[in-house]
Structure 1
Amino acid sequence: MAPVASSEFAPSSQLASTLDPSGIEPAATVSTFLYARLHHFSTVCNAMSAEHAASFVNEVRRMLTEAVQKLGGEVSQRRPDSILAVFNNKPDEKPNHAQRGLHAAILAVHDATQLAQVVAARPEFSGLPMLTLACGVHLGVAELSRRGSGKVHAAGEAVEVARLLEVTAMDLGWSVATSAATRLASAGRAEGGRIGSVSLPDNSFIDIVEVTGLMPRKGSSTPPRVFEMLRESLRHNAQARKRTSGAAAPGHSHSPSLPAQQAAAASGMHFLIEGYRVLRKIGEGGMASIFLAQAAEGGAPQVLKVMRLEKAVEADGLQRFIQEYALLAQLDHPNVARIFRQDFSVSNAYIAMEYFPQGDLRARMKAGNIDTATALSYIKQTAAGLGAIHDVGIVHRDLKPDNLMLRQDGSLALADFGVAKQMSMKITDTGDGDIVGTPYYLSPEQALGQQVDARCDMYSLGVLAYELLTGRKPYHASSAQELLHMHVHAPVPMLPPQLAHLQHVMESMMAKDREQRYPSARLLLDDLAQLGV
């Protein structure tokens, strides 16, 4: 089980020269930190006799230490199944500690894979989970000092990030997870695979990368088969991790296991999504946080709506969250927001959807200067989107300017189907007597807690249309209860004289008796077409 040998593996510096040997004052130093942990170590150890267990512990110790020492790192903390190592350079040397830290992680995985194969080949261990190594590598600032024993002690944010990346690697089924900045500092030595983003306890984000191989130095004499062997070890270790944890194959939705959620919580991890670079947080809703993100395959930015699974027990939150994807996945219409993906990642459920750089219609209305032609265009586009969702049996139930999004070209799309239901559902299904929807745009039947259908959205569109055409809401009240009463009993408001030709359209959208409303958005569009608008 000896590690791969190569002239490239010789250390270029020693950490000892960067620290005061007295160790009285810790020094803040930019270093690369490697945290590696062998999973299922205790299970295998407990299945062995005392003699074999002692030999196994020594072999694991060698495996975790040797790669670090070969690459000029020092062990800061060591436990039977894990190691924290520090890589640094002398002050007068060109920094290459990121290269060496990642290199050491790759070698450690190679050794761990060989050890796992030897253990798995023994009949008495055939029913045990496969040994796998997870590594986190991060370059950053930490406090380094020496204790009386001469051993280096490391503490600080960079150390904790390395530990967090090990948990991330474990949860995602990667062998080595590193921050994107650390891989960049390795000057091309580490091959990158999948990407993701993880938030830190302070809610800042770092981009992460899966390490899939080691690239040779320019002019290297190491045979190509060595590098392929290392890649294969990384692949084999990652596959074994996924088989052991029961993780779903890439591209398939899966619900994370309880241990994965517990590990994430124990690490202080707030947010982890594979396959996306999170650019920034752009909003917060009742159940979900909203982020702007870049998919690994590139293309236009996307919006991630992310809900922590711990919120799923609240008001059927997870069911409603997933339902948003299930409903919209049926549609492909220019006036309905596009949904790209719905999945689970560790302790979160998320939906990746279209990003609207121009924001929502509410912001556009606040800016003013919406002429009649533009207002009618928005009304017709909204009606077209409603027609599309009604055709597949969906009632939006919360139509308002905040849920109508604008693209760069000015086109409009329906979004936020978080409270949408199939037409057979009643509004009170979301809670005992709870009213769902925004009171300014709520239909009379919603206000009364009655069964809803497509005509509910037609009423809300009428309220929106009046506001777009006149610049003011049709009803104003001092309380939500009074406003709801007006939706049920107040007469349909009159449009100004210059828009009188549209009054019958308004009456057919906002009729208190839904039997007198447009039964479909298509009939509304036909009426507007006959009026030449």
Structure 2
Amino acid sequence: MTALKIGRYEIIEEIGRGGMATVFRAFDPFFQRDVALKVIPREFLHDPTFRSRFQREAKTVALLEHPAIVPVYDVGEEDDQPYLVMRYLPGGSLADRLKQGEFSFEAASGIVNHLAPALDEAHKSGVIHRDLKPDNILFDQQDNPYVTDFGIAKLNEERTNLTTGGLIIGTPSYMSPEQANGETLDGRSDIYALGIIVFQMLTGRLPFEANTPLGIIMKHITQPIPPILEIRPDLPAGCGMVMDQVLAKAAADRFSLATDFAKALSEAPSFHNKNSTKPAGRPKTLKLKRLETKPIPVDTVPDEAIICPKCNTENDGDRRLCVACGNRLKIDCPL
């Protein structure tokens, strides 16, 4: 390894840096293409945990074949430096795009529709990502999104909790309640994280914020999700119901498949019309039935008779009190 080369790969520029890896854009002279090359930070070169992450990521992605999952091209080690070589995606990350503000409903729904089948494929293969977040969603030149960074993914047959210093690995802002509690996970934990990402795309903010990672984690466990329609009243009314389900505290109350979530989200604009089977048109004209009435003969009521307003008894015109109930029939005018 030289200052500008790792293996056969010629380093062009650094494109990403995190606590557990540094990613470079590099050139592969054999295939004549740009690649993304990931290496362990030097301070962790002698930590077996970080080396195992590289091996795990290569093994995990090798199990997965889906157009929306970033493929690993090569894995190797030079001068005691492990590295992973992946497809280079020049469109940046979702985290970059979120800095520009909230997304339209159509744009957010489109991204979910593209990513959901990839997550279902991973879950079907027994792989749980466990760190799904905007930094791990990348775009190609055609703006198609991809899932990447399966470095802390958990294979179902593994029994390790993938902890460092006793702490559960993951990103608190996108962590499901069960992951925060250290419970057994399945694909619904990733679906929760995807729901948080959608919330952030649609509102331009995270549902929970706090001064410490632990504070954020506790809110995921105990606090209800802010009603999304109160933040974005212009969203489809059905969006609120979909977000309530995907971000339910109990995994059993969420969507079982990421594609079920994507389908429900895309159908949210039509939720309020589901009870209607006909398109709206002109109001229907009601046909009223004509009622035939017979006039009451005038001579049936004496000329000076008084009808008691209380009991409807007919009284002579000169009476002041009703003969039946004693009600006062008229008041003498003093004028």
Range 402-411 or range 428-437, more displaced: 428-437
Consecutive aligned runs of 4 or more in structure 1 exceeding 3 Å deviation: 308-313, 423-429, 528-533
Range 303-312 or range 475-484, more displaced: 303-312
| TM-aligned CA deviation for residue 315 of structure 1 | 5.4
Give a deviation string over 1:85-133, Cα, whole Å, max 9, x none.
Answer: xxxxxxxxxxxxxxxxxxxxxxxxxxxxxxxxxxxxxxxxxxxxxxxxx
Higher Rg of the two aligned structures: 2
Residue 76 of structure 2 corresponds to residue 332 of structure 1: no
CA contact (8 A) 1:315 1:430 kept: no
Residue 38 of structure 2 corresponds to residue 302 of structure 1: no
CA contact (8 A) 2:109 2:265 kept: no
Give a deviation string over 1:385-422, Cα, whole Å, max 9, x none.
Answer: 21121121111111111111111110000111111111
Q: Distance in 1 between matches of 2:168 and 2:43?
A: 24
| TM-aligned CA deviation for residue 370 of structure 1 | 2.5
Give the aligned partner of residue 273 of structure 1: 6
Question: What stretches of structure 2 of length at least 5 have no aligned partner?
Answer: 271-335
Q: Distance in 2 between matches of 1:344 and 1:354?
A: 18
Q: 1:512 aligns with which of 238, 249, 258?
A: 249
Please give the residue correspondences for 1:114-513 in structure 2 after superposition, counting only pairs within 5 Å: 198-199=2-3, 205=4, 273-307=6-40, 311-314=44-47, 316-368=49-101, 370-423=103-156, 425=158, 428-431=161-164, 433-496=166-229, 497-499=233-235, 500-513=237-250
| TM-aligned CA deviation for residue 483 of structure 1 | 1.5
Q: Distance in 2 between matches of 1:498 and 1:465?
A: 15
Q: Distance in 1 between matches of 2:149 and 2:269?
A: 31
| TM-aligned CA deviation for residue 336 of structure 1 | 0.9
* Structure with greater helix percent: 1
Give the aligned partner of residue 280 of structure 2: none
Distance 1:371-1:529 versus aligned 2 partners, 3 A rule: closer
Matched residue type, 1:524 = F
Q: Distance in 1 between matches of 2:51 and 2:256?
A: 32
Q: Secondary structure at the match of 1:475?
A: coil
| TM-aligned CA deviation for residue 441 of structure 1 | 0.7
CA contact (8 A) 1:427 1:452 kept: no
Q: Secondary structure at the match of 2:11?
A: strand
| TM-aligned CA deviation for residue 481 of structure 1 | 2.1
Aligned-pair Cα RMSD in Å: 2.3
Distance 1:308-1:375 versus aligned 2 partners, 3 A rule: closer
Give the aligned partner of residue 333 of structure 2: none
Range 523-532 or range 337-346, more displaced: 523-532
Give the aligned partner of residue 279 of structure 2: none
Q: Distance in 1 between matches of 2:239 and 2:252?
A: 20
CA contact (8 A) 1:360 1:402 kept: yes
Question: What stretches of structure 1 of length at least 5 have no aligned partner?
Answer: 1-196, 200-204, 206-271
Q: Secondary structure at the match of 2:65?
A: coil
Q: Distance in 2 between matches of 1:308 and 1:364?
A: 26
| TM-aligned CA deviation for residue 473 of structure 1 | 1.1
| TM-aligned CA deviation for residue 470 of structure 1 | 1.4
Higher relative CO (Cα under 8 Å, sequence separation at least 6) belongs to 2
| TM-aligned CA deviation for residue 523 of structure 1 | 2.0
Give the TM-score taking structure 1 as reference length: 0.47
Please give the residue correspondences for 1:35-184 in structure 2 after superposition, counting only pairs within 5 Å: none
| TM-aligned CA deviation for residue 530 of structure 1 | 4.5
| TM-aligned CA deviation for residue 348 of structure 1 | 1.6
Give the aligned partner of residue 522 of structure 1: 259
Distance 1:400-1:344 versus aligned 2 partners, 3 A rule: same
Matched residue type, 1:380 = N
CA contact (8 A) 1:428 1:434 kept: no
CA contact (8 A) 1:278 1:292 kept: yes
Give a deviation string over 1:459-501, Cα, whole Å, max 9, x none.
Answer: 1111111111111211122322221111011113212233321
Distance 1:517-1:344 versus aligned 2 partners, 3 A rule: same
Give a deviation string over 1:328-382, Cα, whole Å, max 9, x none.
Answer: 1222322111211112223221111011212110111102262221111122223
Q: Distance in 1 between matches of 2:161 and 2:263?
A: 33
Q: Secondary structure at the match of 1:468?
A: helix
Range 349-358 or range 289-298, more displaced: 289-298
Q: Distance in 1 between matches of 2:240 and 2:64?
A: 32
Distance 1:287-1:475 versus aligned 2 partners, 3 A rule: closer
Give a deviation string over 1:262-302, Cα, whole Å, max 9, x none.
Answer: xxxxxxxxxx5232222223333334332211112244310
CA contact (8 A) 1:423 1:454 kept: no
- Count of residues in Structure 1 that have an aligned counterpart in Structure 2: 266
* Structure with greater strand percent: 1
| TM-aligned CA deviation for residue 308 of structure 1 | 6.8
| TM-aligned CA deviation for residue 428 of structure 1 | 3.8
Q: Secondary structure at the match of 1:387?
A: helix
CA contact (8 A) 2:239 2:269 kept: no
Q: Distance in 1 between matches of 2:7 and 2:135?
A: 29
Distance 1:281-1:498 versus aligned 2 partners, 3 A rule: closer
Distance 1:458-1:424 versus aligned 2 partners, 3 A rule: farther
Q: Secondary structure at the match of 1:329?
A: helix
| TM-aligned CA deviation for residue 510 of structure 1 | 0.7
Q: Distance in 1 between matches of 2:58 and 2:117?
A: 20
Q: Distance in 2 between matches of 1:462 and 1:369?
A: 15
Distance 1:527-1:370 versus aligned 2 partners, 3 A rule: closer
Give the TM-score taking structure 2 as reference length: 0.73
- Identical-pair percentage: 33
Distance 1:322-1:364 versus aligned 2 partners, 3 A rule: same
Give the aligned partner of residue 316 of structure 2: none
